[in-house]
Amino acid sequence: MLHVSETADALVVFGITGDLARRMTLPALYRLTEQGLLTCSVIGVGRRPLRDDELAEQARESVTAAVDDVDEKVLADLLSRLHYIGGDAEDGSLYDRLRDALGEATAPVFYLATPPSMFLEVAEELAGAGLADNARLVVEKPFGSDLRSARELNERLTAIFPEDRLYRIDHFLGKEPVQDIIYLRFANALFEPVWSREDVDSIQITLAEDFGVEGRGSFYDNVGAIRDVVQNHLLQVLALAAMEPPSGGEDAIPRRRLDVFRAMPAVDPDNAVLGQYEGYREIEGVAPKSDTETFVALRLEIENWRWAGIPIFIRAGKALPVSATEVVVRLQRVPQLRWGSHRLRTPGNDDIVLRVGRNAGVTIGIRAKTPGKEVSQPVSLDLHFTDELGEPPEPYERLLADALRGDSTLFPRWDVIEETWRIVQPLLDSPPPLERYAQGTWGPASADLLAAQNGGWRVPGGGG
């Protein structure tokens, strides 16, 4: 079920004083207020004792740091909706005060901008206080730390909040450029005819970051690249790039994504490379002998009619040369042509590149005749979406709006999350040896061997 008909009449944000709320949640709430989409009260919950006016001042600082040309009337509207309840999430009296603050609200949304270790505890306290009935619960990733823990967490959470009222955030699905993948594929006659094993040589997905984990060492050291971005973000992007055309009801796209995952064998650790950048272990919060991966490269397959036999390469890493996120659909080489004394050779493959980071757009690599010579050379057709279409909304803006109106289309369902954990679980159980790599490089040299027979990894440009 994708739609809950009742629009939320209250939003409760646990962790309102935390880093995620400061950077993402509060600026998103400002933008929703600006669009007239936030019409309910916002109750912030945190450990620190704060007055409403102190929370309002923190919210003002968050919004002005993130938004250019703040409209003071809009900001005043948002601040007037904010209320604060301080206390320990384990203290039952906090939920009594929360119930009083909710008043006559009958369809609240509880958003947990908290560490995942708190999800179940808060949900059980909400249920014990009689606050879970007809409410929706929104939780952040990661959902579990492996297949077993994810199943256990899901079983216990859905006993309180059924699937249609449990919203699991993957903010990549809220990114406008990620949603653009569907439109590029199915709204243009140019792409779909070549989007299969008949014409495609391979698919690559890269999430590169040119920075390390400074300031997040203790968190990241317990997570690593597989759990942080592969099991969730990058597999979801792959599903959109590889799925069949959606049709039918509101659950068409989630069903198609699920079909892709169910056609994928679990990753073979022999087809994976894990790396850790030099200097990682010296970062505050990181264990001195940590074996947490900051780089991962994988070869995967999709065993269905469209993609059988086509290798899928995924890589993600910290401290790489640039920050970029892109999907590369590499087309097969065309055959050599000959007429008279002429030879038309194509030494490389043409790439269709979907940039889904901040530098969103499409690059299509083609070959053209070199002026005055009987040889071809690569040229690019390049489109930047921001230049043509303007700035897109931020992911949390879209996802919070959807949660408030009861639309879970962009929130991964449990069956999808279960499949993605299944796919990566062998890497967690039997990881390949960890290799070190220098900061500012493209990871361990052995990662290059994964894609070597398919033209190698494309080197992305920067832009996020």
User: Which residues are marked as active site?
Assistant: 233
CA 453 from chain centre, in angstroms, equals: 29
Residue 79 corresponds to which tokens in the numbers above? Answer: 């601040």
Cis bond before residue 460 (omega within 30° of 0):
no
3-state helix, strand, coil in the chain (%, to 5): 40, 20, 40
What's at 262, amino acid-wise? Answer: R
E-strand stretches of 395-433: none
Q: For residue 386, what is the enclosing H or E element? A: helix 385-389
CB 177 within 8 A of CB 355: yes
Q: For residue 404, what is the enclosing H or E element? A: helix 395-405
User: Per-residue DSSP letters for 82-136?
Assistant: EEEEES-TT-HHHHHHHHHHHTT-SSEEEEE-S-GGGHHHHHHHHHHTT--TT-E
CB 43 within 8 A of CB 102: yes
d(CA 261, CA 226): 16
Nearest to 109 by CA among 407, 413, 394: 407
